[in-house]
Amino acid sequence: MQFENFYQKVSKPYVQFDFPLGRNRAKKYFNDVQKTGQVIHHRFLPFISISITFEKHPTPEKPRNVKSRPISLVSHSDAGIYTYYAEMLNDRYNAYVVNHGIDDVAVAYRTGGSQHHGSNITAAHEVFDFIDASEEGWVLKGDFKGFFDHLNHKVLWRRFLNVIGELSNDEKLAWTKVFDELTRFRTIKKATLIKRLKKSRRFVTVKKNDKVAYFDNLKTLGDFLKENQDIINRNRTNEGIPQGTGLSAVMANVYMTEFDEKAKNMVYALGGIYRRYSDDFVVVLPKTVSELQFETLTDEMLKMSQDLVELEIEHDKTKALSFKHGEFFDLKKDNQSAGLDYLGFLFANNTVSIRGGSSYKYYYRGRKALKSANTAKKIFEIASADSSLAVDDIYKQLIKGNQSGGAATALKNKIQRILFHVKRGTGLPEIHNSYRRYVIDPEFSKPRTSFISYAIRAEEEFSKGSHSYRVVINKQLNKQRARLAIKYLHET
């Protein structure tokens, strides 16, 4: 493993029990985690769990829907061990799947030199090209319910031993320690942690050399955990692993090795293709396979998921489709016209586009960002014209009626922040940042995080090779950018 990759993981500036590691400390720790004795005696810390609330953006067909997703934050010291062991296991996994002829099946969480390791864009492109080349056939698309939460520990350990191969006694002890900590993980809810800390001391966090943590040493942390055992949640079941570590992702692929091998053998015997992206899988079969054979294979896949991996394939989310020259038909709905929604892309009417929800999400977020930028611009202009104005004076110029308490507080905080910039003469880059991110030409957008850049990469990928389907991703993007530009110019 390269030190820089290790350092990137242990130095991330999120707040956990321990401080992010500086470069010098990380170098020493990098050497330590390579010693089995250090790992065997390592004191793993609880995960800190938070719930991220996100909005399923409404469309004309679907109402507004707010959901939450649990996220586990691993301590920085534990992240180093999980990262190092994840890379070791990934190397063994890559060798295992090559030897067993399934290197092309799992396309998520992969690192290494295989041509099959890529993004969701390349994975979807491969499947869509296979469909296009087949002209007519069948598609089975499904996912495993509560994938990470239902990985059986005994099954996982057996699959792990198959993949990892021969280990020395010390190596097995170290791996057993890491495995036990991953499967019998402990969590503390962030909100509960903060409440307890507020009761026991003045400040929730501590700071050292511009780094922030909840505790400045292991002794005070140990005392706190000992006195607050009631807020520590332990996984006492025989299933489930947290998603907050690099090792969890590799373990998930290891868990599915036997299923992947048998599924691929069944599908390939019928001239088809089987791919799995984490908990999502897709099967494509040519028209030479009868509908009865397709239904039989579907039943076998459902049964195999329970027998081999003790996972449930969600019935409601399973799609059984037939296709002909890029047109799809839903077998569960009397052959109604349909489309294949796979990894964020829609293949329908012999056309590939970004899923409607993703495109609308881009517009929805852009609209909110531009509205916020316009408000910031108005505040900046008012404050620049008269820097003696107080927060309440500017607030009254902006708001003529009543606002809810939360909205009023948020706006006043924004005014206070912008007043600070005006008085210091530092300008306000956020006014134009949102415009660049959502409206301006792609070369000004962030290459890895901007939806604009993502859409352009997708257009380029799907346009490669020879195929009969149309690619309209750029057209979608330009339409939304134009809508946002009109709205931005109208409100400025």
Please report the pLDDT score of residue 25 as a whole number: 95
Please state the rounded mean pLDDT for residues 133-146: 95
The answer, as to whether pTM is greater than 0.75, is: yes
Task: Report the sign of the C-alpha dihedral through residues 440, 442, 445, 450, in that order.
Answer: positive
Q: Which residues of 31-43 are buried (b: 16+ CB within 10 A; e: fewer)?
A: ebbeebeebeebe
User: Which is nearest to 228 in space by CA: 258, 188, 257, 263?
Assistant: 188
Strands (E), 244-310: 273-277, 280-286
pLDDT at residue 177 greater than cutoff 80: yes
Write down the pLDDT at residue 178: 97
pLDDT of 304: 95
Q: How far apart are CA 356 and CA 296, in angstroms?
A: 32
Amino acid found at 476: Q
CB-based contacts of 298-304 (< 8 A; 24+ apart in sequence): 298/140, 300/266, 301/140, 301/142, 301/263, 301/266, 304/259, 304/262, 304/263
More confident residue, 490 or 184: 184
Tokens 């036997």 identify what position? 258
What is the band of 56 on the pLDDT scale with cuts at 50, 70, 90? Answer: low
Residue 329's identity, in one-letter code, is: F
Through-space distance between the first and last CA atoms of the chain, rounded to whole angstroms: 51
pLDDT band at 124 (very low <50, low <70, confident <90, very high): very high
* Least confident piece of the model among 50-59, 78-87, 260-269, 317-326: 50-59
Q: What value does the mean pLDDT take over residues 458-469?
A: 94
Residues 350 and 324: beta-carbon distance below 8 Å: no
Element containing residue 17 per DSSP (H, E): none
Residue entry with tokens 């691929």: 264
Instruction: Report percent pLDDT > 90 for the chain.
Output: 64
Residue 233: the pLDDT is 96
What's the token pair of residue 16? 């956990």
**In the chain, how many H helices and how many E strands?**
18, 16
Would you state the structure tokens that stand for residue 130, as one six-digit string? 């296979």
**Token digits of residue 52:** 């991220």
Per residue in 407-439, pLDDT tens?
888 888 888 888 888 887 776 766 666 666 666
Greater model confidence, 489 or 104: 104
pLDDT at 490: 56
Provide the sign of the torsion angle of the four alpha carbons 474, 480, 482, 485, taken in this order.
negative
Q: What is the pLDDT of residues 204-245, one digit of tens each?
A: 999 998 899 999 999 999 999 999 999 999 999 999 999 879
Q: Cβ–Cβ contacts within 10 Å for residue 416, how many?
A: 13
Please return the burial class of 59, using the count of CB atoms within 10 Å of its CB with bins 0-12, 13-18 and 19+. middle
What mean pLDDT is reported for the chain?
A: 88
For position 447, what pLDDT does the model report? 47
For the cut 90, the answer to whether the pLDDT of residue 364 exceeds it is no
CA gap 61, 105 in Å, rounded? 34
Which neighbouring-strand residues pair with 187? Answer: 47, 233
340-342: strand order across its sheet: 340-342, 345-348, 351-354, 470-471
Give the model confidence (pLDDT) of 258-298 as tens digits. 999 999 999 999 999 999 999 999 999 999 999 999 999 99
Burial of 156 (0-12, 13-18, 19+ CB in 10 A): buried
